[in-house]
Amino acid sequence: MSDWLGLRDARVLLVGAGGLGSACAEEFVAAGARLVVADIDRENLDRLDGALGLTSQGCHLLQADLRKPDASEQLVRDAVQLLGGLDAAVHGIGINRRLPVGELSNEDWLEIIDVNLNSAFWLGRAAGRVLSAAGGGRIVYLSSVSGLLAHQHHAPYAASKGGVNQMMRVMAAEWARHGVMVNAVAPGYIATDLTNGYLDTDGNRQKLESLIPAGRLGVPADVATAVAFLASPKVTFVTGHVLYVDGGRTLV
């Protein structure tokens, strides 16, 4: 097993067991990290465990609703107890509803901001306190190119991801002196089980591919590799950075 990232036996809290989160879990396990994986959906956790055999490898699966501040605090405490400390935390949960601004309900806006941005703050604050006190660590957020580009029908999602980017930068500025590196990975157009239905409708796959200089959609492993890199203890002088994993989409 290659350990070029220095993640063997690293103690990692990963929030998000579906979509890109599952790819991140696979990347961390392959690198030899010790994992606590949390998700609101027990079925996501069980599905991931069935695919990767996480519990048989000593990983821990916890159900948690991080829309509540106290739940994030408790999750970080549980991760520290289960792993014997914490080296990295990854926030990889998010939801979206593709609707024009005029058709979005108040509930749509509040729920997307709550899941995507508020939970990111609650988790980051709790993890940052622990990592700062321990003398260092890594926090990685899954953002999106929507935090930079003005995609139509993405208003609350784009606002939440733009908010994550700037919140992350403030955390990075405050905690750098404690050895805590805080960064974000911003995927472009990624083909996943969750997006394939949309991509296979109305020629959306071809439309999006035409916007990407690399000429293809991304795959989850593209994102997971970037997340693992930024969670690595070898990354000691990169902080406050949004790493776009988009095949060049944000260049044009």
Do residues 128 and 2 lie in contact, with contact meaning Cβ atoms separated by under 8 Å?
A: no
CB contact burial 186-224 (16+ within 10 A = b; e otherwise): bbbbbbbeebeeebeeeeebeebbeebeeeebbebebbb
Contacts 24+ apart (CB under 8 A), 170-179: 171/124, 171/128, 171/139, 172/239, 172/240, 172/241, 173/240, 175/128, 175/131, 175/132, 176/239, 176/240, 178/131, 178/132, 178/135, 178/136, 179/131, 179/132, 179/135, 179/136, 179/137, 179/236
Helix, strand, coil abundance in the chain, percent, nearest 5: 50, 15, 35
- Catalytic residue of the set 141, 157, 189, 244: 157
DSSP of 91-126: E---------GGG--HHHHHHHHIIIIIHHHHHHHH
Does the active-site annotation cover 157? yes
Active site residues: 157
